[in-house]
Amino acid sequence: MLDEKFLKVTKKLFSPTFGTENLAPYLYSLIRLIRPRKILELGGGYTSIFILKALSDNELLFKDSSSVDLSLQNEHYFNQTFNPSKLHVIDNCKDGYTTANLIFDASKKLKLDPFLEFHETDYFGYAENIPKSELPLDLLWIDCGSLNTYHHVMRNYFPLVNRAGGIVLIHSLITNLHGALFLKQLKLAQATKEFNDFELISLLEPHKKRQNSLTMLRFTTNELTTIHSTLP
């Protein structure tokens, strides 16, 4: 991932204001780990290219599994037929610090554009326009917002995420006033009426004052656990 060309192209999309210098490569590794194929990002920029790179690398391995020792892998996964992986980005490109407008050009330079679908619009009221063929989402990444935004996203975009293991990632809730209030609401829901519906954890970057956390929500409502082994 971190070859000279990739670093040169992605550097142009980095904005210190958005604080994703550590988060972007973390998202790359997370996507390589959990293998989502249908991803929606609300608020594009630096992280978008890392997500596209992860989708591309996952796709390459899936298409050429000849180097994979299937005796150590889940053969069912490699025998499935999937639609092409896709990252949908929704951004109106109106933020003064945004680099979302550079995503498409960067993706073409890195030959990642086949995995990208860019929607230059406001995400308020746009959820119903996500193609049905892309649903349910495997991963929803939210890098924008106020309390009003979070509530809108929860009502309109959370329902698009797969209830059998789908993941929602939200940037910078812990030390932000609006974010902290929303996080408490999520914790209350999980502790009471939605205890069996999702898992929740937040990670803090303690060295930073803002844009400094990642909250991860994983839906488990319809998840079925498969046992593959009995030994460590």
Inside any domain, residue 170: yes
pLDDT over 90 (residue 18): no
Inside any domain, residue 119: yes
Name the residue range of residue 177's domain: 4-219
Note the Cα 127 to chain centre separation in Å: 16
Please name which of 156, 161, 218, 147 lies closest in space to residue 40, comparing C-alpha atoms. 161
CATH number of the structural domain spanning residue 154: 3.40.50.150
User: Which residue matches tokens 């929606």?
Assistant: 40
**Beta strands in the chain, from DSSP E residues, in sequence order:** 38-42, 86-90, 116-119, 139-142, 167-171, 198-204, 213-219
Inside any domain, residue 224: no
Number of domains in the chain: 1
What distance, in Å, lies between the first and last C-alpha atoms of the chain?
A: 30
Residue 96's pLDDT band (cuts 50, 70, 90): confident
The alpha carbon dihedral of 212, 147, 150, 125 has a sign of: negative
Average pLDDT value for residue range 48-58: 96
What is the C-alpha radius of gyration for the chain, rounded to an integer number of angstroms?
18
Percent of the chain exceeding pLDDT 70 equals 92
In degrees, rounded to 5, the angle at the alpha carbon of residue 142 between the alpha carbons of residues 194 and 43 is 160
**pTM summary value:** 0.92
Inside any domain, residue 227: no
Instruction: Note the pLDDT of residue 230.
Output: 84
Average pLDDT value for residue range 199-211: 95
Query: What φ, ψ does residue 36 adopt, rounded to 5°?
Result: -70, 150
Inside any domain, residue 231: no
Percent of the chain exceeding pLDDT 90 equals 72
Q: How many CB atoms lie within 10 A of CB 190?
A: 16
Q: Are 103 and 118 in contact (CB under 8 A)?
A: yes
Average pLDDT value for residue range 125-139: 95
User: Residue 213 to residues 19, 22, 165: CA-CA distances in angstroms?
Assistant: 10, 10, 22
pLDDT in tens, 135-185: 999 999 999 888 999 999 999 999 999 999 999 999 999 999 999 999 999
Q: What is the largest CA-CA distance in the chain?
A: 54
Inside any domain, residue 28: yes
Average pLDDT value for residue range 9-30: 91
